[in-house]
Amino acid sequence: MDTPAVLTVSARSPLRGRIAVPGDKSISHRALMLGSLAEGETTIRGLLLGEDPRSTAACFRALGAEISELNSELVRVRGIGLGNLQEPADILDAGNSGTTMRLMLGILASHPDRFFAITGDRSLRSRPMGRVAEPLRQMGARIWGREGGKLAPLAVWGEKLQPRAYQSPVASAQVKSCLLLAGLMVDGETSVTEPFRSRDHSERMLAAFGAAVSVDGNTAAVRGPARLRGQEAIVPGDISSAAFWLVAGSIVPDSELTIENVGVNPTRTGVLDILREMGADIVLENPREAMGEPVADLRVRTAPLRGCDIGGEVIPRAIDELPVLAVAAACAQGRTTLRDAAELRVKESDRIAAMAHELSALGVTLREHPDGLEIEGEARWHGGEVRTYDDHRIAMSLAIAALVAPEPVAIQGMGCAAISYPTFVPTLAELGVNLLTAECSEQ
Ligand code: S3P
């Protein structure tokens, strides 16, 4: 079953069983990128087959990497070697993917004497690129774009960059990774200090590929020039995708779900910390490691949730899970306050406004703030029609909310789930959720 454009969800039966989630999106991007920049062959097992990694693969093919057909079993990448990027014959297209565009900018800007142009879809062309273009310029990069180089389409003339210790005003793994990737081609140390620690997949994977990476508190650094060697990469299941089932399993009565093979890197497990603080019953089973990343099976059982305060250092560790946590908050007893989360306004959509609007449409009482939401628990859910703003995480969060609404919820624009989780709707069906209509034409 493909992801339908309009999905009508109606379910009040328990969710039970063992499920697997697709490969981690962040790690999939990085495996394709580092494999492409390395010398020799990289094999990738467990790659996410979503549209975002496909954008990354297409960009690197245009730069000269040989990447086999994408497949979750095994992808083979024949790398070009750092410094050897080809000047592409056409504009690179990052699609909907902020990770692709921001990380690529560091790579492109640091490859001297080549011209690159990069664009993306409507959402990506409205997202802030100054946060990477500006520090890259401080290293000597030449980048042009709309609004003084803040918005894509962007044009880049590659230069030999200079090392720099950058203090980032935002905790963003995309900013940090962009500069570390640029630093691979720089003589000396390039470092990024963040207000809070963001996900560290780049640091872990760069080290595995042979780069000289160091981490000290909230500062990550790379010493260049680096040489990367092809590796056997393993991508664990995405905790951001598992989050939908962690919330569903908590709020749908009498549920018990085991989500297998989920990456539980501590820079990503804010969702577990928040749900546990709310009273969720989640157990980590069979903890193990795959290519330097911690992995476990997650078992969740229905539990009464209570509201809590969400803010501070946990925000970057739960940033993509905050929309579905808003659904959990609406089911909890008492009020939940989300603050320090203004970054949500510059994701694939303005996720604060989107969740505020669509959850209100389903009966939730909430207040919107510039940097978050105040959500009253024990919502009087009702059915209705909601829209996704073409944002995959909004679409899937609303599908989870629909599981507790007493009447059907029609979700317009569900197709975007394929960005990060192409098998989300089939998994809902596998769990016995009543999917009343599944229109296949895009709305
Ligand atoms: C990502 C980092 C996060 C996250 C995004 C993926 C990454 O963005 O929201 O989905 O792979 O580095 P920011 O780093 O901009 O917060």
CATH of residue 383's domain is 3.65.10.10
Q: Are residues 202 and 266 in the same domain?
A: no
> Same domain for 223 and 345?
no
Show which of 200, 234, 268 is a domain's final residue.
234
- Domain, as residue range, for 291: 3-23+236-441
Together in a domain, 344 and 207: no
Asked if 197 and 171 touch (Cβ cutoff 8 Å), the reply is yes
Is residue 301 located within the same domain as residue 336?
yes
Residue 320 is a catalytic residue: yes
| Residues 197 and 339 grouped into a single domain | no
Q: What is the pLDDT of residues 121-150, one digit of tens each?
A: 999 999 999 999 999 999 999 999 999 999
pLDDT score for 316? 98
Mutate to test the pocket of ligand 1, among 48, 105, 123, 172 (most ligand atoms within 8 A of CB): 172
430 and 315 within one domain: yes
On whether both 191 and 263 belong to a single domain, the answer is no
Q: Packing angle between helix 98-109 and helix 173-183, nearest 10 degrees?
A: 20
Spatial neighbors of 415 by CB under 8 A, at least 6 apart, are 3, 4, 5, 442
Assess contact for 296 and 287: CB atoms under 8 A: yes
Tokens matching residue 360: 């209100």
DSSP-based helix, strand, coil % in the chain, nearest 5: 35, 30, 40
Same domain for 134 and 42: yes
- Whole-angstrom distance, CA of residue 381 vs CA of residue 11: 13
Q: Tell me, what's the pLDDT at 442?
A: 38
Strand order through the sheet with 212-216: 165-167, 188-193, 219-224, 212-216
Distance CA 354, CA 370 (A): 13
Is the CB of residue 348 below 6 angstroms from any atom belonging to ligand 1?
no
In the three-class reduction of DSSP (H, G, I as helix; E, B as strand; rest coil), residue 423 is classed as coil
Query: Can you tell me which residue has the tokens 């697997």?
Result: 20
| Kind of pairing between the strands at 409-412 and 384-387 | parallel
Same domain, yes or no: 162 and 262: no
pLDDT of residue 5: 84
- Confidence band, pLDDT 50/70/90 cuts, at residue 441: very low
- Strands 434-439 and 6-10, sheet pairing: antiparallel
Whether residue 13 is found in the same domain as residue 49: no
Reported as a pLDDT band with limits 50, 70 and 90, residue 248 is: very high
Percentage of the residues of the chain whose pLDDT score is greater than 70: 98
In the chain, the percentage of residues whose pLDDT exceeds 90 is 95
For range 292-320, the mean pLDDT = 98
Edge-to-edge strands of the sheet including 434-439?
384-387, 409-412, 6-10, 434-439
- Which atom belonging to ligand 1 lies closest to the Cα atom of 172? 14
The dihedral through the CA atoms of 271, 243, 334, 411 has a sign that is positive
Q: What is the pLDDT of residue 443?
A: 35
Tell me, letter by letter, the H, E, C secondary structure of 164-202. CEEECCCCCHHHHHHHHHHHCCCCEEEEEECCCCCCCHH
Most ligand 1 atoms within 8 A of CB, residue of 199, 345, 352, 392 to mutate: 199
Separate counts of helices (H) and strands (E) for the chain: 15, 24
d(CA 241, CA 420): 8
Best CA proximity match to 48, nearest among 7, 17, 20, 18: 20
The rounded Å distance from CA 23 to ligand 1 centre is: 15
Separation of alpha carbons 391 and 123, rounded Å: 9
Atom 4 (ligand 1): residue with closest C-alpha? 320
Strand 409-412 and strand 16-20: the pairing is: unpaired
Q: Is the pLDDT of residue 64 over 50?
A: yes
For residue 438, the model assigns a pLDDT of 53
Q: What's the rounded mean pLDDT across residues 188-204? A: 98
Number of domains forming the structure of the chain: 2
Q: Are residues 206 and 252 in the same domain?
A: no
Instruction: Write down which residue in 234, 260, 280 finishes a domain.
Output: 234
Q: Is the CB of 319 under 6 A from ligand 1?
A: yes
pTM of the model: 0.97
Query: pLDDT per residue over 45-60, tens digit each?
Result: 999 999 999 999 999 9
The per-residue pLDDT of the chain, averaged, comes to 96
Say if ligand 1 is within 6 A of residue 343 CB: yes
Q: Please identify, by atom number, the ligand 1 atom nearest to the C-alpha of residue 198.
A: 14
Answer whether residue 200 shows pLDDT above 60: yes
End position of a domain, from candidates 190, 217, 234: 234
pLDDT at residue 1, rounded to an integer: 61
Encode pLDDT of 155-176 as tens digits.
Answer: 999 999 999 999 999 999 999 9
- Amino acid 161: pLDDT: 98
* Band of residue 3 on the pLDDT scale cut at 50, 70, 90: confident
What ligand 1 atom has the least distance to the C-alpha of 29? 11
Q: What is the pLDDT of residues 368-410, one digit of tens each?
A: 999 999 999 999 999 999 999 999 999 999 999 999 999 999 9
pLDDT at 439: 53
Find out whether the beta carbon of 32 lies less than 6 Å from any atom of ligand 1. Answer: no
Q: Are residues 18 and 135 in the same domain?
A: no
And the tokens for 377?
Answer: 């628990």
If you average pLDDT over residues 326-346, what whole number do you get?
98
